[in-house]
Amino acid sequence: MAEDKRRRYSSQVVDGLGKSASRAMLRAVGFSDEDFRKPQVGIASTWSNLTPCNMHINRLAEESAAGADDAGGKSLIFNTITVSDGIANGTEGMKYSLVSREVIADSIETVAGCEGFDGLVAIGGCDKNMPGCMMGLARLNRPSVFVYGGTILPGENHTDIISVFEAVGAHAQGKLELIDVKQIEETAIPGAGSCGGMYTANTMASAIEAMGMSLPGSSAQNAVSDTKVADCRAAGAAVLNLLEQDIKPSDIMTREAFENAITVVIALGGSTNAVLHLLAMASTVGVELSLEDFAEIGKRVPVLADLRPSGHYMMSELVAIGGIQPLIKMLLERGLVYGGCLTVTGKTLAENLADVEPYPEGQDIIHAFDNPIKADSHLRILYGNLAPTGAVAKITGKEGTHFTGRARVFHSEEEAQEKILDGTVVAGDVLVIRYEGPKGGPGMREMLSPTSAIMGKGLGSDVALITDGRFSGGSHGFVVGHITPEAAEGGPIALVEEGDTITIDAVSNRIELGVSDQELERRRQAWQPPGPRFTRGVLAKYARTVGSASTGAVTDLP
């Protein structure tokens, strides 16, 4: 009976005389008679040598497969895609980045659904891998574990990919010679692993571990390390335990688990993309989650981690002092996370944390509650006549909490980037980059190149940037994204005119256009929706099916 329960799906594919052809095909890939009686575990690998984030994942997939096999399962490795945000940022290609999240989810669902895998391990490296994998696992709702590919090590002189982006702005300002930019370019990325600060990849990996869908410690390990190899092997074995106990993603990805994930993201000073992706993951698994939940949780949770981009340290340095497990235990002892949530170990979060040691004395990466980086959340959910259904800002307080300036309007990221670098953009400007939303881009590009250019030119406290697009986890400065409704749908951001006054208040959480309701209505009547930028292919299909950023920009809503 136990074996039947563990083989709920594979038995439909390989059992009985009628499935002789299926078994014949599988014999060719290495199955024996004994293997047909084992639960099948699919290993979803995002391996690719097109980005350092994923270049090592082939070996990690093999380790997870070995772990599943040693625990009594039969593993099969299959691939899904990845794209590189770090390579594509600032180009038309970046329009495919958020789209890749949906493709990853679709492909994992497609392969596992077709082949009859009983359980899964999904291994992700670059930003969209994490939520894409999780959405695929949630749709299938079969015993599953997510594994993070791990963080990169710092480059020479404590540099990383954001150092390269900001060097371009510094050169435009005359602060760096070309030879200096080239040296940073050549040494900032020393090998395999995801971008090294608390950017989107490390943020989402941490959120998933806090949610209970990764083994303890998985999010805070160096990509090339014995601990990461051991994590992958243990993940394969863990799926067999989950199959035995019939623990599925829906048992783990509960409302309380999502609140735990949000809490940890805030404490770590994580990426605004976490808002978008957690909303999408919650939607996929059927948990009600909204922008307001981020706002409410943010009132009681401080930022404790001094991590890049706004702070000083990199993920590898947090790894060296114990990762995020001691932080989660601090939050648990403070009553800020739910300890009773089930995890992929088969135990509760509190049980997993019972023997976790505190951070070593004298470390200053994770601050104490009485000395926070910020007393409440850096992720601000803003509303107002510019964002009736919400916007997301990442404001640590270092940029200030209030900005009023004149609108400088651009219809694409490239237009804005050109005017930042040539000196047209000056202190007091609020850059409005529109028609970059999920539908309008399409694809909701990250504005990393403009924000990095602003920081590189020393304008981080003097210029604000608002957009219906989104931001890289490496973006910092006075920035507001995810403005909804987006411009392509006739949202108020489409009606902003050059020179309008815009006010952003990160205390009252408002974003207002200094124009009367009557004037806005006049402009609305005159506005014409733009034609589609793509009429065939994946971007056209995405634009037709994607929902609002305020609900996660998912493509499979009823």
Q: Catalytic residue positions? A: 472
Q: How far is CA 241 from the centre of its chain?
A: 28
Evaluate whether 194 touches 324 at the Cβ level (below 8 Å): no
Return the SS3 of 69. helix
From the list 230, 200, 460, the residue with the least C-alpha distance to 315 is: 200
The answer to whether the Cα torsion of 92, 410, 478, 515 is positive or negative is: negative
- Residue type, position 460, single letter: G
Determine contact, residues 498/457, Cβ cutoff 8 Å: no
Question: What CA–CA distance (Å, rounded) separates 488 from 490?
Answer: 6
Strand 402-410 and strand 387-394: pairing? unpaired
Q: Which secondary structure element, helix H or strand E, spans residue 433, and what is its range?
A: strand 429-433
Report the distance separating Cα 230 and Cα 178, nearest Å. 43
CA distances from 126 to 46, 195, 202, 481, 548 (A): 9, 8, 9, 21, 23
DSSP, res 113: H
Structure tokens that stand for 503 in this block: 């006010």
Q: How far is CA 471 from the centre of its chain?
A: 11
E strand or H helix that includes residue 387: strand 387-394
User: Helix, strand, coil shares of the chain as percentages rounded to 5?
Assistant: 45, 15, 40
Is the omega angle on the peptide bond into residue 309 within 30 degrees of 0, that is, cis?
yes
3-state secondary structure of 442: coil
- Residue 264, exposed/middle/buried by CB under 10 A (0-12, 13-18, 19+)? buried
Looking at residue 553, what DSSP letter applies?
Answer: -
